[in-house]
Amino acid sequence: MSSNHPVRVIAVTGGKGGVGKTNVSVNLSLALAALRRRVVLMDADLGLANVDVLLGLDVKYSIADVLDGSRSLREVLVNGPGGIKVVPASSGVQQLVQLSNHEHAALIHAFSDISDQLDVLVVDTAAGISDMVVNFVRASQEVLVVVCDEPSSITDAYALMKLLNTEHGVSRFRVIANMTRSAKEGRMLFEKLNTVCERFLDATMSYLGHVPFDENVRKSVQARKPLLETAPNSKAALAVKELAKKVDEWPLPGGPRGHLEFFIERLLASSSADTLV
Ligand SMILES: Nc1ncnc2c1ncn2[C@@H]1O[C@H](COP(=O)(O)OP(=O)(O)O)[C@@H](O)[C@H]1O
Ligand SMILES: [Mg+2]
């Protein structure tokens, strides 16, 4: 049942709402797909402006249908733009923190079933530092923190990283500065966060890069189409494509950590471990 095919699992998070997590998740997914990676975007946000809304997807089934055994994960996956596939958000996502043994097994099996058909799993997380966000992030191999140059974004991102680091042992964060007015502003924003992290956390932060403020992003959201399709040569789209190239060059984890089953096991194990302590 287990496959040996490595899958990169990237959680996109940030603490605060409205900083651009969903837009980064969607467009990074499309850019990675354009680099010929097979990408599944998992929507782990039950909020309003989530992936299926942003992409105007027609969603029939959800993770809840996988859990009760009525659908396979393949049937739940929705074809998105640019060849990406989407696991739509549903209340089933929240259920993931309290599964029965049977549901647990069903979910592991469902993901094993698709793991040899994807290279990258991008997880778009909700705002805030709920258990659900923490669970998804700490189960992922890579944590992408989206920040923008506002005090509340910086403090929320720091609070999230602090919790993940001190309580859950997450020790590596990658940062994207979004809605920047210049490359320099993005770099300075990263330095600000990095200074605090170096001093107070036992974690490494690295800067992935910035996505400039670009009106085309808002327009694409209104059109319910991804920026990479509505304005592929816009400043923001070009920036995302650059970031995707870097992401694609990150080393892949070897051994069990690089397998999709590991993500799901960890997603489930982490939640039950909490209730035991
Ligand atoms: N690079 C950008 N330039 C301009 N506006 C942006 C940019 N990124 C995001 N936005 C705006 O911010 C809004 C919130 O983005 P979204 O991705 O939904 O944030 P989150 O998922 O963090 O809540 C979008 O609807 C868009 O209008
Ligand atoms: Mg969002």
CA of 19 from ligand 1 middle (Å) equals 6
**How much is the pTM?**
0.93
pLDDT attached to residue 276: 41
Closest CA to 6 of 197, 272, 261, 275: 261
- Closest alpha carbon to 244 in 36, 29, 42: 29
pLDDT at position 4 is 67
State mean pLDDT over 202-217.
Answer: 98
pLDDT over 80 (residue 206): yes
Q: Looking at ligand 1, which residue's alpha carbon is closest to its atom 24?
A: 218
pLDDT at 97: 67
**Mean pLDDT of the 95-117 span:** 79
Quick check: 11 and 136 in contact, CB under 8 A?
A: yes
Task: Give the count of beta carbons closer than 10 Å to the beta carbon of residue 143.
Answer: 25
Q: Please, are residues 238 and 204 in contact by the beta-carbon 8 Å criterion?
A: no
pLDDT digits (tens, 9 = 90+) for 165-189: 999 999 999 999 999 999 999 999 9
Give 108-136 pLDDT, tens digit per residue.
888 888 888 899 999 999 998 888 888 88
Q: Confidence band (pLDDT; 50, 70, 90) for 69?
A: confident
Quickly state the pLDDT bin for 63 (edges 50, 70, 90): confident
* C-alpha 275 to ligand 1 mean position (Å): 35
Closest ligand to C-alpha of residue 156 is 1
- Predicted pLDDT of residue 236: 98
15 CA to centre of ligand 1 in angstroms: 14
What pLDDT does residue 166 have? 96
The residue ranges of DSSP E strands in the chain, in sequence order, are: 8-13, 39-44, 78-79, 85-87, 120-125, 142-147, 172-180, 204-212
Percent of the chain past pLDDT 70, that is, above it, reads: 93
Pocket test for ligand 1, best of 22, 217, 238, 240 (most atoms within 8 A of CB): 217
Average pLDDT, rounded, for the chain: 90
Cβ of residue 49 lying under 6 Å from some atom of ligand 1:
yes
Q: What is the mean pLDDT of residues 91-110?
A: 75
270 pLDDT band (50/70/90 cuts)?
low
Give residue 67's identity as a one-letter amino acid code.
L
Q: What is the pLDDT of residue 1?
A: 46
pLDDT at 85 over 50: yes
